Structure 1
Amino acid sequence: MFNPSVPEEAREFLDFVNASPSPFHATHEAAERLRKAGFKEIKERDSWNGTIERNGKYFFTRNGSSIVGFTVGGAYKPGNGFSILGAHTDSPCLKLKPISKKEKSGYLEVGVQLYGGGIWHTWFDRDLSVAGRVLVEQEDGTFKHTLVKVDRPLLRIPTLAIHLDRTANDGFNFNKETQLAPILATATKSALNGFDKAGDSEAEALHHPLLVHVLADEMKVKPRQIRDFELALYDTQKSTIGGACNEFIFSPRLDNLEMSFCSIKALVEAQDIANDTNIRLVALFDNEEIGSLTAHGADSNLLPSTLQRLVATELGDEKVSATAFEEAMHKSILVSADMAHAIHPNYADKHEENHRPEMHKGTVIKVNANQRYATTAMTSLVLKELAKKHNIPIQEFVVRNDSSCGSTIGPMLSAKLGLRTVDIGNPQLSMHSIREVGGTDDVPHAINLFKVFFEEFPALEKRIFVD
């Protein structure tokens, strides 16, 4: 039987993305992987003096949707550098409005907001459900952040039959406010099941009581305990391996959970912490898809404050110089990891002729003369040298001059910290669609590249002379 093998890392990624329909779930999954690898959870609200030690492994979360994990090298001293990987946990999606209750033509509908720059027509005719976090009131009056993921299809945005719109194949145009409303149930069935009247909870006054009861049943709480929530719609069709040679990953949220997964796995598996002079750090931020300017996004104080605290943390009797942070920044580098555009066979002219990344041929270094990507010759050299030494494939990408260019967390963090930065990502198709396509081999390619980056950057940095 013809059944080509699939890299184990790609199969492990499927488990990660299938368990992560929201940034809250992605952060939880990353935390669980770190915890199982012996990382100790710490809190930003606590003092780190006396907690952080050389050879130690730690992580913390912010808002439940961003996470920072790090290891302290056995040879680290304050003023030494940081080896940093940055990615993001969010993806374009539909999110419930604060008041989502709608009823039209005998149907119960749910009001949604657009989050990020999604290809919204791909959300029609999909089996959708909801996931995110719920604030649940406890018996003692406290409120608990609780994850919820309803695994069965609850919602659907149906297209209009072609018999009623003969222009449907001439271009799929729709109103995002009035025609992108998911159907939850029929009013008839909802009433027959006793949900024709608002319940006695605050949530049921704002959202369909039927939906609130589904959430309550899922979490095994009473509807009145649900005080508020942040819920996103997601496609219940699971990520899977596809292609005749098992070479593709068909999945939602490749951008950017693939880079998030590879970063965490590399941090866990990288060797020789005892001899490392640096702190190895992974930061997975929320809200990249909407500009990152939030308390838990890359344009917040999350990374700067973390680095400043680590530099200032007391390690035994060692004194920290007044300029230790500035010294550290000039010995550090950020690898901004966000997915890249693979060459599309049906739209090959959209790529610059000498920069056409292909799946299975390695992680892509992204360059832009206008610094929409923060890569420079010096920062790309770091990854090129490491890739060359270990025979890890790598590619390069620039956008065409007659095309717009997206951006990443790289430029904002580079400018905020004066930090050398290189923008990279694995190649994929259908970016920002509800179902995207990546290559199975590129998952281990990225993990291997990130591991040698953690293990060997401090030694390589000493050989690069740039002021």
Structure 2
Amino acid sequence: MKYHNSTQDNNSTSAADFIKFVNNSPSPFHAVEEAIIRLKEAKYEEIKECVSWRGKLKKEGKYYFTRNRSTIVAFAIGGKYEPGNGFSMAGAHTDSPCLKVKPISKKVKEGYLQVGVEPYGGGLWHTWFDRDLSVAGRVMVETEKNKFEHKLVKVERPILRIPTLAIHLDRDVREGFKFNNEVHLTPLIATVSNKLAENNEKHHPALLDILAQELKCKVNEIHDFELCLYDTQPSTIGGAYEEFIFSARLDNLMMSYALLIGLINSTKNISESLCDDSNIRLITLFDNEEIGSTTAHGANSLLLETTLRRICSAFAEPGYDTIFEETIHKSFMISADMAHAVHPNYCEKHEENHRPQMNQGVVIKTNANQRYATTSVTSLILRQVAKKYKVPLQDFVVRNDSPCGSTIGPMISANLGLRTLDIGNPQLSMHSIRETAGTKDVDHAIKLIKAFFEDFAEIDRNITVD
């Protein structure tokens, strides 16, 4: 008999839609495309960084732009916004640890065709062995003579596999699975007996032919690409009571999705809350967080600062030279990146008073050494939002004898002098090819972000820090 739980049903719509989002987003380029689809449905208008915004932005207007097609910024302007008012902001990232196809990937060894790959980020690479893998990303295609277009590709059938060595040939594997990332983390794509007659100096014709079929173009029209390997097993809802999401890329597409839907829900049909808002609501989903964010489209670039300056300038009168500085001190950033749920088999790895559980609420992440940007002031603001809308919160602090990861929060806070805090939904198996999170927490995060956008300006007026 199927288990029925009315509370679970209330959260199933958000979780099911997130499953669609993550299944359609095997690369940062696809995640941005999925965000664009939802923003367009919500009547957000695309603007370009390469043109002037003066005269184009209006109160109650909703806009978005992309950079590198792997980072996206979306914002909505409050109906009562005046130059010098603040920004209510939230940021996440679109990238996840993965294997990427090398610029010259062609390898032939012992009768096999192999594809050279490079680890991206700090993945649990042992989880990539014996999985049904394929490729997704962007391809630069020549559509006319000397004219090129960015095209998305997602090969849905498994074409690659990284096989483990049989235990009969390595009895020591029981004591620990050790491998070399360059030698042993190389996937198979075919056998030499099936090699196509066509030749290419950089990549196997087998790979190029599959890409050409997917893109409905000729092989010689493919000039370059950025391809991620991904697990073809779809994300799904699981567990005896359907409490869990089993998925790749929960870190950090779950928080990217929550920010996106939270913003959209707070601005639906030019909602009353947006008409009455004196702030600008903004989300930014950056690429390259997993490798330090120091790229033209990462959080450690000038992307966010220049965006805020341009929006301010679009409304400022000539000679209003301090508008940006005034704005920053009235603004707030939520850095949203997944958090560590307590692991029942390794509970000793968690600080005894800070053990977040799945489906029990969004986690506020704090670190005395500022690996997270949370302060007492910034956490107070979020707690006031959560209290009003009855969104459960949890706290996380890493053990004193354990290293602490970081997020985009500290770098944004430092670069802009901006009030920031770090949050995330709790999950298990972070950076594995297959991660686990709670279904209810999708809705928890969406509600929290929506409430933040709607209420931050009012709550902030009641907090004095001088």
What's the TM-score, normalizing by structure 1? 0.96
- Aligned equivalents of 2:298 and 2:437: distance in 1? 25
| 1:393-452 deviation line (CA, Å, top 9, x unaligned) | 000100000000000000000000000000000000000000000000000000000000
2:105 corresponding residue in structure 1 = 100
Q: 1:263 to 1:143 in 2, by over 3 A?
A: same
| 1:334-389 deviation line (CA, Å, top 9, x unaligned) | 00000000000000010000000001110000000000000000000011111111
2:309 corresponding residue in structure 1 = 308
Amino acid across the alignment from 1:394 = L
Structure 2 residue aligned with 1:235, among 231, 235, 241? 231
1:342 corresponding residue in structure 2 = 341
- Aligned equivalents of 1:163 and 1:119: distance in 2? 24
- Aligned equivalents of 1:149 and 1:359: distance in 2? 31
1:413 aligns with 2:412: yes
- Aligned equivalents of 1:196 and 1:178: distance in 2? 27
1:226 corresponding residue in structure 2 = 222
Q: How does 1:39-50 map onto structure 2 within 5 Å?
A: 39-50=44-55
Q: How does 1:35-184 map onto structure 2 within 5 Å?
A: 35-184=40-189
2:3 corresponding residue in structure 1 = 3
Whether contact under 8 Å (1:341, 1:357) holds in the other structure is yes
- Aligned equivalents of 1:349 and 1:2: distance in 2? 35
1:34 aligns with 2:39: yes
- Aligned equivalents of 2:308 and 2:26: distance in 1? 29
Give the secondary-structure state (helix, strand or coil) at the position aligned to 2:79: coil
- Aligned equivalents of 2:443 and 2:370: distance in 1? 28
1:322 corresponding residue in structure 2 = 321
- Aligned equivalents of 2:385 and 2:53: distance in 1? 33
- Aligned equivalents of 1:452 and 1:425: distance in 2? 16
Displacement of 1:2 after TM fit? 2.1
- Aligned equivalents of 1:137 and 1:155: distance in 2? 26
- Aligned equivalents of 2:24 and 2:319: distance in 1? 42
- Aligned equivalents of 1:179 and 1:402: distance in 2? 32
Q: How does 1:238-387 map onto structure 2 within 5 Å?
A: 238-270=234-266, 271=271, 272-314=273-315, 321-387=320-386
Displacement of 1:109 after TM fit? 0.2
Displacement of 1:196 after TM fit? 3.6
Q: How does 1:441-456 map onto structure 2 within 5 Å?
A: 441-456=440-455
Give the secondary-structure state (helix, strand or coil) at the position aligned to 2:369: coil
Amino acid across the alignment from 2:262 = A
Q: Percent identity?
A: 62
Displacement of 1:9 after TM fit? 0.2
- Aligned equivalents of 2:84 and 2:39: distance in 1? 26
Give the secondary-structure state (helix, strand or coil) at the position aligned to 1:206: coil
- Aligned equivalents of 1:382 and 1:295: distance in 2? 31
- Aligned equivalents of 1:456 and 1:388: distance in 2? 12
Q: 1:320 to 1:279 in 2, by over 3 A?
A: farther
- Aligned equivalents of 1:169 and 1:220: distance in 2? 46
Amino acid across the alignment from 2:301 = S
The alignment's C-alpha RMSD in Å is: 1.0
Give the secondary-structure state (helix, strand or coil) at the position aligned to 2:107: strand
1:201 corresponding residue in structure 2 = none
1:185 corresponding residue in structure 2 = 190
Whether contact under 8 Å (1:74, 1:273) holds in the other structure is yes
- Aligned equivalents of 1:422 and 1:88: distance in 2? 15
- Aligned equivalents of 2:35 and 2:440: distance in 1? 21
Displacement of 1:210 after TM fit? 1.1
- Aligned equivalents of 1:26 and 1:302: distance in 2? 19
Whether contact under 8 Å (1:78, 1:320) holds in the other structure is no
- Aligned equivalents of 2:40 and 2:201: distance in 1? 39
Amino acid across the alignment from 1:306 = T
1:423 corresponding residue in structure 2 = 422
Worse overlay, 126-135 or 2-11: 2-11
- Aligned equivalents of 2:351 and 2:164: distance in 1? 36
Amino acid across the alignment from 2:218 = K
- Aligned equivalents of 1:447 and 1:140: distance in 2? 46
Give the secondary-structure state (helix, strand or coil) at the position aligned to 2:355: coil
What's the TM-score, normalizing by structure 2? 0.97
- Structure 2 unaligned regions, length at least 5: none
- Aligned equivalents of 1:320 and 1:163: distance in 2? 77
Whether contact under 8 Å (1:57, 1:72) holds in the other structure is yes
1:462 aligns with 2:461: yes
Give the secondary-structure state (helix, strand or coil) at the position aligned to 2:201: helix
Displacement of 1:278 after TM fit? 0.4
- Aligned equivalents of 2:400 and 2:114: distance in 1? 44
Amino acid across the alignment from 1:97 = K
Amino acid across the alignment from 1:274 = C
- Aligned equivalents of 1:231 and 1:46: distance in 2? 30
Whether contact under 8 Å (1:131, 1:234) holds in the other structure is yes
